Chains A and B, each alone.
Chain A
């Protein structure tokens, strides 16, 4: 069964876009996810901080990671930086195996994500280069 929700909200004052993922971000839902994210990217302003909260996901797989990187790269092309919020330690490990920590903060809370984004922390790799 396809069950994925991506709720997007924008804090104009702080120039933060929050994406809350719930349900499944995997092989079965990847097309739907990509379509939804494409719609969000089309409305994305330049120079915003994007917080991708995947704590509500019940399942994720490598296809889901591919969908996330699609968003991160598209946001980077708009000079916007992204951070991930993940609660499950095993899923956090997966982000590290996939080396996402080389391009963006992988954090345990939204506050931590915003703090990291606002600090302008440098990362070894830039997604817009690839």
Chain B
């Protein structure tokens, strides 16, 4: 049995992030996510930040942000669409091969690192309308 929710902010851009984050928190609590709830929520927030930055770069600064949540017996998935061009090619290799000092001391660019560490899967795709979507997944078996 699968259930889904689409959560949009009532205000555009970053002004809607906190509202969406709170709604996600409620949904994840209701769906019984326990130990992985806070890390997953943190990863969703990172994806929302990135989506807002991508929308601004892509000329859509007032786009409404959205999180699509899908809950099944096996996993909880969050899809966060944006008007950007997607994750950079070989992003994981780049992340893994970064000089630790540079990674540590730069002021930006930690979002992907957190998402990668805090979720069981992190992926990027195009949805049916052609928007880039970041996909985050936590498996329920890891939530004990």
Contact = CB atoms under 8 A, between A and B. Distances in A.
A77 to B, nearest CB: 12
A90 B38 contact: yes
A27 B50 CA distance: 10
Given A27-B14, A97-B114, A66 B107 contact: yes
Interface in B1-51: 14, 17-18, 38-39, 42, 45-46, 49
Contact of A62 (B14, B101, B111): B111
Contacts, number: 71
B104 A62 contact: no
B95 to A, nearest CB: 12
Interface residues on B, range: 20 to 34
A102 interface: yes
Main SS at interface, chain A: helix
Interface string A74-99: 00000000000000001000100111
A70 B107 CA distance: 6
Interface residues on A, range: 20 to 34
A20 interface: no
Interface string A97-130: 1111011000000000000000000000101011
Interface string B44-75: 01100100100000000000000000000000
Interface in B78-136: 100-108, 110-111, 113-114, 117-118
Contacts of B42: 61, 90, 94
A52 to B, nearest CB: 15
Interface of A: 1, 26-28, 61-63, 65-67, 69-70, 73, 90, 94, 97-100, 102-103, 125, 127, 129-130
Interface of B: 14, 17-18, 38-39, 42, 45-46, 49, 52, 100-108, 110-111, 113-114, 117-118
In the complex, the 5 A-B pairs of residues with the closest C-beta atoms, listed nearest first = A130-B105, A66-B107, A62-B110, A27-B49, A62-B111
